[in-house]
Amino acid sequence: MSRHLGAPHREVDHDMALAAVRDRIRLLRRLGAAGPGLLTAIVAFLLVASLVPAGTAVALAVLIERVGTTEAAGLTAVAAAPLVMFAVLLLVGHGLDAVREPLFFLARCRIDGAHRVEVARLASTSDTIGALERPEVQRLIRQARADPENWTERTPGMGALSLLAFLASLLGLVSAGAVLAAYAWWLVPLLVVPALAVQQLDRHGAVMWHRTWLRGIDGGLRAGVWQDAVTSSGEGKEVRVFGLGDWAVGRIDRHIREMFEPVWGLGGRLMTRQWAHFLLALVPLGIAFVAVALSGARGDTSVGVATAVFAAGSSVYRVFGTEVHDIVGGLACVRAFDQLREELRAAPPPRPAAPPPPDAPRATAPPLVRFEGLSFTYPGTRRRVLDGLDLEIWPGELLAVVGLNGAGKSTLIKLLAGLYEPTAGRITADGTDIVHIGAEAWRERIAIVFQDFVRYHLTAADNVALGHGSVPRDEAAIEAAARDAGFDEVLDRLPRGWQTPLARSRTGGVDLSGGQWQQVVLARALYAVRTGARLLVLDEPTAHLDVRTEFDVFARLTAHKGDASVVLISHRLSTVRQADRVVLLDRGRITESGTHDELMALDGAYAAMFAVQADRFRRGHDDRVEEGELR
């Protein structure tokens, strides 16, 4: 019976041992990032360093032996060689100590730098963003990013170098063991077995330490949010205006305590267990030393040999003194990186290409983009935001999408950009599912201004050119896009023109108003259109613009969009009415579609929304517009 139960256990143990070896090999592979020259120097350093203790023990033994047995007259000649040997070994030891820090520091910087680039690449190049919104993925990024914020964290560089040092020190163990075995074989198991036990205890402590730190990682992430809030000028505004300073500092304190108190508690408990380490070193060394001393007293062992045994015996414990915390933490970092890669790659494989639905409307030109029975529920939520939505975007048309707050307009755009996978249905471009076109190729064809666009702390020119970062920079197109977006007037007032950084936190930088930023991002999108994008999507692009500027921007947009199709999301129906077609999104579907006049004639939900806005305008609650614009 026990044999049957034992077999699966043995298999599990075997698998775990194999996985542990594989993890260590993966960690060691990181050493390649240090570069061949530096790595060779480190390996040579470690090999020499591992042989120095045993060599010193032998040299010291020979020296003492000769000093003890030679008459004073011949002492210089006889002791010179071991003395020189001993002195050289001492010098080598000191030399090694001096170069260790810079060598290892440089290697660590290279390995960790390469690792951080990998993490950034992984996080920024996954096709969709759904995974990045999951707390467990944020936790993995925190574990894998190898950017220690406190003394508990370790990096792959630290782990790989410590593991290499440990492997090299095994050579030192062999040489120390040889010195011991030359005296008495039983000294080897007597000292090596407890030294291994000490190392296992250290490893266990390091694993517990790391697990405890992991449990507090959420607290660390929350503390980070508040730390950023109190030190950034953006959130700093609200922190001051709402008088949140002390409250925010209190939150930081609380979350940091959440993170560290368990680690401090564990540190205390591990300290109290140090007596086990002490006994495991003291008892075997005591037995060995007493045995050698007694043998010496009987005249069976010379002073020189006894010295060599003492030195080699204590060096056995030093061999296992490499940083287990570094190895455990480095391994965990690499494992988190591998898990992160799996999570970010976990997007479902492309669906097989399906023929167009039989009842697809016939048109002279095929639609540029078609949403077919599109449904979507955000990962981790239950509400179906889009529910069997059908919609076409025709080549060259200006399509406006309207709907109440939370209707799903921005979600539709995120799906169009391929940032999420639809739960059901598909999006086709020129008849091909965008999944089959591939995220990169598809995004070459579209330009999007998101509602929550990013204000990059870069120059004005870079902020525009980022609209199409994958094509060679086209200065003339940047200028033209700025003109089309109405940003050229703002540009004239910037102290260094196109080279002005758009952030006051940068030297010579300026802060733009909300409306001016919208002109920058509009220029960003128009730059993409000028450099090849065929579909321009604008999610609330003019919400910060005054009505005059908005009208102006739209006139320019219509004039300069060329053959590109434009999808416009806006709550301002005075803007929307200029579109070729307006669609209303409600309860996850398109419920009304037509020109402004057709929808007004339909007298449905769109007409009702328009009537409410027109009434507000007339009564002066909202922007004033030209007489007659809202009729």
Nearer to ligand ATP, 2 or 381 (CB): 381
Binding status of residue 135 toward ligand ATP by CB under 6 A: no
Binding status of residue 191 toward ligand ATP by CB under 6 A: no
Tokens coding 374: 């599109």
97 three-state secondary structure: helix
Shortest distance (Å) from residue 375 CB to ligand ATP: 13
Tokens coding 130: 């759904």
Binding mask 100-119 for ligand ATP (x = CB under 6 A): --------------------
User: What torsion, rounded to 10 degrees, do the Cα atoms 254, 258, 260, 266 define?
Assistant: 140
Cα 362 from Cα 352, distance rounded (Å): 24
Cα 500 from Cα 520, distance rounded (Å): 13
Shortest distance (Å) from residue 144 CB to ligand ATP: 23
580 three-state secondary structure: coil
Q: Which stretch binds ligand ATP (CB under 6 A): 95-103, 228-236, 365-373, 405-413?
A: 405-413
Residue 628 per-residue DSSP state: T
Sheet holding 446-449, edge to edge: 446-449, 535-539, 565-569, 398-402, 581-586, 589-594
Binding status of residue 409 toward ligand ATP by CB under 6 A: yes
Which residues lie across from 584 on neighbouring strands?
402, 592
Shortest distance (Å) from residue 370 CB to ligand ATP: 20
CA-wise closest residue to 443 among 328, 355, 528 = 528
584 three-state secondary structure: strand
Q: Which stretch binds ligand ATP (CB under 6 A): 88-96, 141-149, 406-414, 528-536?
A: 406-414
Cα 46 from Cα 43, distance rounded (Å): 5
Shortest distance (Å) from residue 584 CB to ligand ATP: 11
Cα 143 from Cα 330, distance rounded (Å): 10
Nearer to ligand ATP, 164 or 391 (CB): 391
Q: Which stretch binds ligand ATP (CB under 6 A): 236-244, 401-409, 574-582, 623-631?
A: 401-409
Binding status of residue 403 toward ligand ATP by CB under 6 A: yes
Cα 127 from Cα 418, distance rounded (Å): 7
The CB-based long-range contact list for 554-558 (8 Å cut-off, 24+ gap) reads: 554/578, 556/484, 556/485, 556/486, 557/484, 557/522, 557/526, 558/398
Binding status of residue 216 toward ligand ATP by CB under 6 A: no
Phi, psi dihedral angles at 427 (to 5 degrees): -120, 130
Shortest distance (Å) from residue 434 CB to ligand ATP: 19
Nearer to ligand ATP, 114 or 132 (CB): 132
Q: Binding residue for ligand ATP (CB under 6 A) from 188, 407, 482, 521? A: 407
Nearer to ligand ATP, 364 or 381 (CB): 381
Cα 80 from Cα 63, distance rounded (Å): 9
Binding status of residue 133 toward ligand ATP by CB under 6 A: yes
Shortest distance (Å) from residue 518 CB to ligand ATP: 15
Shortest distance (Å) from residue 351 CB to ligand ATP: 23
Q: Which stretch binds ligand ATP (CB under 6 A): 243-251, 326-334, 407-415, 458-466?
A: 407-415
Shortest distance (Å) from residue 468 CB to ligand ATP: 24
Binding status of residue 405 toward ligand ATP by CB under 6 A: yes
CA-wise closest residue to 370 among 526, 522, 535 = 535
Shortest distance (Å) from residue 576 CB to ligand ATP: 13
Cα 240 from Cα 243, distance rounded (Å): 5
Nearer to ligand ATP, 413 or 482 (CB): 413
Shortest distance (Å) from residue 385 CB to ligand ATP: 4
Binding status of residue 575 toward ligand ATP by CB under 6 A: no
Concatenating the DSSP letter of every residue in 286-316 gives HHHHHHHHHHHHHTSS-HHHHHHHHHHHHHH
236 three-state secondary structure: helix
Binding status of residue 541 toward ligand ATP by CB under 6 A: no
Residue given tokens 């048309």 in the structure block: 397
Cα 239 from Cα 232, distance rounded (Å): 10
Binding mask 435-454 for ligand ATP (x = CB under 6 A): ----------------x---
Beta strand extents in 24-74 (DSSP E only): none
**CA distances in angstroms from 578 to 75, 311, 366, 404, listed in the order given:** 107, 90, 23, 19
Binding status of residue 422 toward ligand ATP by CB under 6 A: no
Shortest distance (Å) from residue 420 CB to ligand ATP: 9
Residue 360 per-residue DSSP state: P
Scored b (16 or more CB within 10 A) or e, 297-316 reads eeeebbebbbbbbbbbbbbb
Binding status of residue 583 toward ligand ATP by CB under 6 A: no
Q: Binding residue for ligand ATP (CB under 6 A) from 126, 322, 411, 463? A: 411
Q: How many residues bind ligand ATP (CB under 6 A)?
A: 13
Shortest distance (Å) from residue 566 CB to ligand ATP: 17
Cβ-Cβ contacts under 8 Å for 377 (sequence gap 6 or more) = 383, 384, 385, 423
How many separate helices (H) and strands (E) can be counted in the chain?
Answer: 23, 10
Binding status of residue 486 toward ligand ATP by CB under 6 A: no
Q: Binding residue for ligand ATP (CB under 6 A) from 385, 415, 537, 553? A: 385
Binding status of residue 572 toward ligand ATP by CB under 6 A: no
CB 543 within 8 A of CB 518: yes
Q: Which stretch binds ligand ATP (CB under 6 A): 272-280, 332-340, 408-416, 428-436?
A: 408-416
Cα 586 from Cα 572, distance rounded (Å): 17
Shortest distance (Å) from residue 423 CB to ligand ATP: 13
Q: Which stretch binds ligand ATP (CB under 6 A): 81-89, 96-104, 152-160, 400-408?
A: 400-408
Binding status of residue 406 toward ligand ATP by CB under 6 A: yes
Nearer to ligand ATP, 13 or 133 (CB): 133
Nearer to ligand ATP, 130 or 159 (CB): 130
Q: Which stretch binds ligand ATP (CB under 6 A): 23-31, 377-385, 517-525, 546-554?
A: 377-385
Binding site for ligand ATP (CB under 6 A): 133, 378, 381, 385, 403, 405-411, 451
